[in-house]
Amino acid sequence: MSDLTAAGPAERHRLISGVFADRVEGTRDWEAPAPVEGWAARDVVRHLVEWFPAFLSAGGVELPSGPSVDVDPAGAWRAHSDAVQSLLDGPDPDRPFTHPRAGSHALDQAVDMFYTSDVFMHTWDLARATGQDDALDSDLCAQLLGGMSQMEELIRASGQYGPAVPVPEDAPVQDRMIGFIGRDPYWQAPTQ
């Protein structure tokens, strides 16, 4: 069991968002193509700082807004990540949270399940787009792959994941997870 799989929601977010922040700080070209078709590095950050506030708002939780991703992607990430961490470190992180489509969960569990895992997976996208370390925690990769595999039809029907990219059954678990979510684990940024 790794630190990530053993951690509770607040600590897991702190660790995962910290690694993502390192990749954000290491990005030198925000227009570099990303492994998601039609996305650049900036769009990886945009996705995370735009979808999750809307998700929370649909359940009655508001996050403060930060700088524009177009103007300051690193500042936008810091402000967003800090706001999410404040929710998790706050006085009632396990308060009830009901989302019209995702159902009812404790707030910290909803953040962990729907958002922190997304940050974890998108860390690979940003790292791969910008030529940084793209290694992910293998225990968490295995845990996420196992959970998502059990609800593959629902995941594919949501439109949030592309078709799985076939990888060998004996490939490292990170490659299998990346392939499952619709990324080519062997994707490389085009050379200039």
pLDDT at position 192 = 57
* R_g over Cα of the chain: 16
- Which range, of 97-111, 153-167, 178-192, averages the lowest pLDDT? 153-167
CA 177 to chain centre: 13
Segment 148-174 shows an average pLDDT of 87
pLDDT at 50 over 80: yes
pLDDT (tens digit, 9 = 90+) per residue, 68-123? 999 999 999 999 999 999 999 999 999 999 999 889 999 999 999 999 999 999 99
pLDDT (tens digit, 9 = 90+) per residue, 164-175? 999 999 999 999
Q: Hey, what domains does the chain have and what are their CATH numbers?
A: 6-135 (1.20.120.450)
In this structure, are strands 96-99 and 103-106 parallel, antiparallel, or unpaired?
Answer: antiparallel
pLDDT at 191 over 90: no
Segment 133-159 shows an average pLDDT of 90
Give the mean pLDDT of the chain: 94
Question: Which of 171, 120, 94 lies closest to 5, judged by CA?
Answer: 120
Q: Is 182 left (phi over 0), alpha (psi -120 to 50) or beta?
A: left
pLDDT at position 85 = 98
